[in-house]
A and B are shown apart, each in its own frame.
Chain A
Amino acid sequence: MNIESKLTNLKIDYLKIEPSTSFLNNGWKNLSNHLEPRKTHKFWLMWRWSFTTATLVLLLIAGSIFGLFQGAKAALPGDRLYPLKRISENVISKTQGNDQIKVENRAHEIIGLVKEKQKDQQAIDKTVKEYQENVNKVTEQIKQPEKQQEFEKKVEEHKQEFQKLSEENPEIEKDLHEITQRKTEDKQEEVKKESEKSSEED
C-alpha cells in the first residue's frame, strides 16, 4: 500500500472530528454578537460615490465652460457669446503682455461683419476703430525687433484682406479706406526710402 492510500485511510478518522454539540448549537449565536456592524465600509462606499459624482459634475461644468469659450471664439459683435470672447481675450492679452490677440480678433470680426448679408454698419465702424487703436497699442507694446517684424507682417496680411474686401464690397470702401490707405502711404514711404538709400550708395 503506498503512502497516498495510507493517508486516505487516515482521512476517514480525520473526518470524524466534530465540534461539540453545544458549540455547533451556540457557536453562531455567540459569534454574531461579536461581529462589528460594517459602518466604515458603507461610509467608504458613500464617500466614494459622492467623490465620483462631485468629480463628474465638476468635469461637466469645466467642459461646458471650455465649450462655451471655444464657441465664443467665432462670435461677432452683437452675438450672445461675444462678451465671453472679450473676457477670454482680456485674459489672454494679460498673460501674453500685449494686445496682439485683440488685433487678430478685430480683424476677423471686420471680415465676418462685412461678409454678413445684413451688414451692421455701426458695428463695422466700431470694430474698425478698435482694430486701429489696438494696432497702435501693440506697435508700442512690442519692443523686440523680431516680434515687431512679425506683427507688421501680420498687419500687412490683414490690410491685403481688407483691400480685397473693399473691392468686393464697394459700399464699405469708405470704412476700410483709412486702414488700406495707410498701407499705401506706408509702402510709398518705404519705396521712397529705398530709392534714397540706393542714390546715396551710387
Chain B
Amino acid sequence: MTDEISVLVKNAQNGDTQAFGSLYSLFLRKIYRFVYFMVESETLAEDIAQNTFVKAWKALPVFSQKKGTFQAYLFSIARNLVMDHFRQKKTISVDLDFVTNIESSENIEEQTINGEEKQQVKQAINKLDDKEKQMIILRYFEELPMGDIAKTFTMEEGAVRVRIFRILRKLKEILGGKI
C-alpha cells in the first residue's frame, strides 16, 4: 500500500491528474472526517477538504516523501486550513455533536448504555484546545503513527509522545469527577 501511494505521489508530482485522483479517493474520507470533527459543519468540511487537495496539488512538486508521508502532508494542510477558519471565525463551537448526520446501526438500548459515557468523553475532548483535540483525533481515531503526527504538527516525535501523554492525563482529570 505504501509503495502504491509512493508511486501515485511520484506520478502526481509529474503532473498526472489521474494519479492525484486516486490519492484523492484514498484520503478524502479521512480528511473529511478530521475536518468535520473540528468544524462541525458538513458544507464547511467539504470546502476545507476540497481546498486541502487543491493546496496539496499546488505544493506537490516541492513535497518530498523523504521528509514525511503523503498522509501527514495532507493532514498538515487540512489542519492549517481549519486553524485559518477558526482564526477568521474567532469563535469555536462548544458542542461536539459529530454523529448527528450518521445513521447509527446501534439499537436504542445499546445507545442508552453507551451514550452517556460517550457523551462525557466527547464533552471532555471539547474542553481541550484545538491542537490537543487534533492530536487525539489523529492518534486514537485515525491511528496515525507518532512519526506522521510529528510531521503534521512540525514537532519532534518525542515531544509528540510527551504531549499526548499529558493530554490523556488532562482528559482523565476532566473526566475524574464524572466516572
Chain A residues within CB distance 8 Å of chain B: 3-4, 6-11, 13-20, 23-24, 27-28, 30-32, 34-38, 40-42, 44
| Contact (Cβ within 8 A) B98 A42 | no
Cβ–Cβ contact A17 & B57, under 8 A: no
Whether the Cβ atoms of A3 and B17 lie closer than 8 Å is no
Q: Determine whether B136 belongs to the interface, using a CB cutoff of 8 Å to chain A.
A: yes
Cβ-defined contact, B140 with A17, below 8 A: no
Number of interface residues of B (CB under 8 A): 43
Pairs A–B under 8 Å by Cβ, sample size 23: A3-B172, A6-B117, A6-B121, A7-B141, A9-B114, A13-B99, A13-B102, A13-B118, A14-B33, A14-B37, A14-B137, A16-B104, A17-B32, A17-B37, A17-B99, A20-B42, A27-B28, A27-B49, A31-B24, A35-B20, A35-B57, A36-B57, A37-B15
Determine if B175 and A15 form an interchain contact, defined as CB atoms under 8 angstroms apart.
no
In the bound complex, how far is the Cα of B178 from the Cα of A6, in angstroms?
Answer: 13
B2 cross-chain contacts in A, Cβ below 8 A? none
State how many angstroms separate the Cβ of A169 from the closest Cβ of chain B: 70
What A residues does B61 contact at CB under 8 A?
38, 40-41, 44
Say whether, besides A3-B171, A16-B102, A41-B15, A36 and B58 are in contact (CB < 8 Å): yes
CA distance A158 to B118 in the complex (A): 103
Q: Does B25 make an interface contact (CB < 8 A)?
A: yes
- Interface pair A11/B117, CB less than 8 Å apart: no
Knowing A14-B141, A32-B17, A36-B58 are in contact, say whether A27-B37 is a contact too (CB < 8 A). Answer: no
What are the residues of chain B within 8 A of A9 when measuring CB–CB? 114, 117-118, 121
Q: Which residues of A contact B29 (CB under 8 A)?
A: 18-19
B14 to chain A, nearest CB (A): 8
**Secondary structure of the A side of the interface?**
helix
Interface residues of B (CB under 8 A from A): 13-15, 17, 20-21, 24-25, 28-29, 32-33, 36-37, 42, 45-46, 49-50, 53-54, 57-58, 61, 98-99, 101-102, 104, 114, 117-118, 121-122, 125, 136-137, 140-141, 168, 171-172, 175
CA A145 to CA B103, docked complex, whole Å: 105
Please tell me if the beta carbons of A17 and B15 are within 8 angstroms of each other in the complex.
Answer: no
CB-based nearest A residue for B53 = A31
Give Cα A44–Cα B61 distance, bound, in whole angstroms: 10
Instruction: Assess whether A38 is in contact with B15, with CB atoms less than 8 Å apart.
Output: yes
Report yes or no: B136 in contact with A7, Cβ–Cβ below 8 A: yes
Structural contact, B98 and A14, CB atoms closer than 8 A: yes
A-B pairs with the 10 shortest C-beta distances?
A38-B15, A7-B140, A14-B141, A16-B102, A17-B33, A41-B61, A19-B32, A11-B141, A13-B99, A6-B121
Return B102 CB to nearest CB of chain A, in Å: 4
A7 and B172 alpha carbons, distance in the complex (Å): 11
B104-A27 in contact (CB<8A)? no
List A contacts of B101 (CB < 8 A): 17
Q: Which of A9, A31, A36, A37 has the most CB of B within 10 A?
A: A31
Determine the chain B residues whose CB is within 8 A of the CB of A8 once the complex forms.
Answer: 140
Q: Is the CB of B28 within 8 A of A19?
A: yes
CB-based contact B25/A28 at 8 Å: yes
The interface residues of chain B lying within 8 Å CB-to-CB of A6 are: 117, 121, 175
The answer, among B54, B118, B121, B136, for a CB contact under 8 Å with A35, is: B54
Residues in A neighbouring B104, C-beta threshold 8 A: 16
Least distance between A12 CB and chain B CB atoms (Å): 9
Known: A27-B49, A31-B54. 6 other contacts (CB 8 A): A6-B175, A9-B118, A10-B141, A17-B36, A17-B101, A32-B21
